[in-house]
């Protein structure tokens, strides 16, 4: 592993830190207590991100993106992890799946997402099909050259009302060695298409202000040009980028854990009981020691996965390990931080309760810890034919 941070990346890190100091941290409390990012603030973050070259920095330069490599994205995601998703999502990193856009789709979907004229949602999860993706009921049937889309999605998240959604739908079944398997196709569906409703859904207590949307499709007619990638290859397409998404969740968790640990350490050093700082009591001090150790291990794991990804050698199980380890490490640190703060840890006056609530989501989205463990188990057992 190479831990050297280049001079260029050091400058980038400095830029991201001052961007967050100025544009995000000051607004965290208000966003959490109101559950809203005012449009004006969101647009301000968006504009600043563009000015600094951070908007769509994950996408290649050929399409107008920042063209940053995984090492640079690692630093950025780790830093963004310190604040709320509701804020840093405005400095968009559009989903790389859009790179599968071809022909007119590039002008209509990919390029406007790079410039910020359009925003997308990634719509996979359904009310009755969360972890069990193959249980999806959303389907599209052929009608001449067109497709007719029916079904619904929920928990589909973004910072603001999107312009279109990438929607995964069953378009038939394939015979495989293990029996029938749904063919899943990704469609680009514009908000405003007759029969497509996109409305705000449930409110989440993690990252308040980051919105979830409920999508419903009632005989939505889509032309052949609305298929993203190949028909029947939707999951393979999303699978190409899913792993990196999980590594970035891991990086965000490390950033947030570092921030929480700093707060807990300051409290442990300054809060006195029985005539001494509570950090001197082993029960408190060891919590800090364990947190520091576990954070170090998590950071190394993310760095290792990033390096594997750079070599094109990252496997699904590598990403799954990072996702479970880092999100669970963060949750232990967040819970310990509340404990170290005592009653004050749960009071709205301090940010600890907010960071603790925010942390909880990381074990659930992008595939729960249990599903990640399935992926890891499969990678261990499959070579033995089990
Ligand atoms: C704020 C938020 C934003 C989100 N954003 C998006 C988005 O933009 N796009 C999108 O498509 N989805 C999104 N999701 C959905 C998210 O990915 C799902 O919530 C997650 O995959 C879990 O699905 P579920 O909630 O239906 O839980 P379920 O699948 O119902 O799982 C419930 C519990 O059962 C366990 N479980 C299920 N199956 C197994 C099994 N085989 N073995 C062991 N345990 C199992 C799970 O691990 C979990 O503990 C978002 C969710 C949230 C909360």
Candidates 84, 155, 320, 324: which one to mutate for ligand 1, based on the most atoms within 8 Å of Cβ?
Answer: 155
Domain boundary, last residue among 76, 93, 110? 93
Q: Please choose, from the candidates 73, 81, 79, 75, the residue with its C-alpha nearest in 3D space to the C-alpha of residue 57.
A: 73
Element spanning 227, H or E: strand 227-228
pLDDT computed for residue 161 by the predictor: 97
112 in a structural domain: no
Ligand 1 touching residue 371 (CB < 6 A) = yes
Distance between CA atoms of 146 and 224, rounded to whole angstroms?
6
Number of domains in the chain: 3
Distance between CA atoms of 196 and 140, rounded to whole angstroms?
13
- 331 in the same domain as 226: no
Ligand 1 touching residue 155 (CB < 6 A) = yes
109 in a structural domain: no
CATH number at residue 337: 1.20.140.10
- 359 in the same domain as 220: no
Ligand 1 touching residue 367 (CB < 6 A) = yes
- 362 in the same domain as 243: yes
Q: Is 119 helix (H, G, I), strand (E, B) or coil?
A: coil
Residues of the chain with pLDDT under 70: 1-3
Ligand 1 touching residue 204 (CB < 6 A) = yes
Distance between CA atoms of 61 and 67, rounded to whole angstroms?
5
- 203 in the same domain as 291: no
Backbone angles phi, psi at 185, to 5 degrees: -120, 140
- 291 in the same domain as 160: no
Which ligand 1 atom sits closest to the C-alpha of 374?
42
Ligand 1 touching residue 157 (CB < 6 A) = yes
Ligand 1 touching residue 361 (CB < 6 A) = yes
106 in a structural domain: no
Tell me the CA–centroid distance for residue 364 and ligand 1, in Å. 6
Distance between CA atoms of 199 and 34, rounded to whole angstroms?
19
Per-residue pLDDT reduced to its tens digit, 163-175 = 999 999 999 999 9
Ligand 1 touching residue 60 (CB < 6 A) = no
pLDDT computed for residue 84 by the predictor: 98
Per-residue pLDDT reduced to its tens digit, 268-281 = 999 999 999 999 99
pLDDT computed for residue 4 by the predictor: 78
Range of the domain at 344: 237-384
Tell me the CA–centroid distance for residue 221 and ligand 1, in Å. 29
Which ligand 1 atom sits closest to the C-alpha of 370?
47
Candidates 365, 367, 374: which one to mutate for ligand 1, based on the most atoms within 8 Å of Cβ?
Answer: 365
Tell me the CA–centroid distance for residue 368 and ligand 1, in Å. 6
Candidates 368, 369, 371: which one to mutate for ligand 1, based on the most atoms within 8 Å of Cβ?
Answer: 368
pLDDT computed for residue 2 by the predictor: 54
- 358 in the same domain as 243: yes
Cα 373 off chain centre by:
19
Q: Please choose, from the candidates 214, 209, 207, 124, the residue with its C-alpha nearest in 3D space to the C-alpha of residue 162.
A: 214
Tell me the CA–centroid distance for residue 8 and ligand 1, in Å. 38
């Amino acid at each position: 592993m190479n831990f050297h941070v280049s001079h260029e990346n050091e400058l980038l890190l400095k830029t991201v830190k001052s961007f967050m100091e100025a544009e995000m941290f000051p607004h965290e409390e208000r966003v959490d207590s109101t559950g809203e990012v005012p449009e004006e603030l969101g647009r301000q973050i968006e504009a600043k991100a563009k000015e600094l070259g951070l908007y769509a920095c994950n996408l290649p330069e050929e399409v107008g993106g920042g063209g940053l490599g995984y090492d640079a994205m690692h630093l950025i995601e780790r830093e963004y992890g310190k604040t709320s998703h509701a804020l840093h999502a405005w400095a968009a990193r559009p989903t790389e799946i859009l790179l599968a856009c071809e022909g007119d789709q590039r002008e209509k979907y990919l390029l406007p997402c790079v410039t910020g004229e359009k925003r997308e949602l990634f719509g996979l999860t359904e009310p009755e099909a969360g972890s069990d993706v193959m249980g999806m009921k959303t389907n599209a049937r052929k009608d001449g050259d067109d497709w007719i889309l029916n079904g619904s999605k929920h928990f589909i998240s973004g910072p603001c009302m999107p312009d279109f959604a990438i929607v995964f739908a069953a378009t038939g079944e394939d015979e495989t060695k293990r029996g029938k398997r749904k063919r899943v196709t990704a469609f680009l569906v514009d908000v405003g298409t007759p029969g497509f409703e996109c409305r705000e859904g449930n409110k989440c207590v993690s990252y308040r202000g980051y919105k979830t949307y409920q999508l419903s499709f009632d005989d939505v007619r889509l032309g052949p040009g609305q298929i993203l990638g190949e028909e029947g290859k939707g999951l393979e397409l999303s699978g190409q980028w899913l792993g990196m998404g999980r590594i970035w969740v891991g990086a965000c968790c490390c950033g947030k854990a570092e921030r929480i640990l700093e707060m807990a350490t300051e409290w442990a050093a300054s809060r006195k009981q029985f005539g001494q700082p509570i950090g001197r009591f082993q029960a408190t001090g060891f919590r800090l020691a364990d947190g520091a150790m576990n954070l170090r291990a998590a950071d190394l794991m993310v760095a290792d996965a990033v390096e594997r990804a750079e070599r094109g050698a990252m496997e699904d199980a590598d990403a799954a390990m990072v996702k479970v380890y880092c999100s669970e490490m963060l949750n232990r640190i967040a819970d310990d931080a509340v404990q170290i703060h005592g009653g004050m840890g749960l009071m709205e006056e301090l940010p600890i309760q907010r960071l603790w609530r925010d942390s909880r989501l990381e074990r659930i989205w992008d595939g729960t810890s249990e599903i990640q463990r399935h992926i890891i188990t499969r990678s261990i057992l499959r070579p033995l034919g089990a």
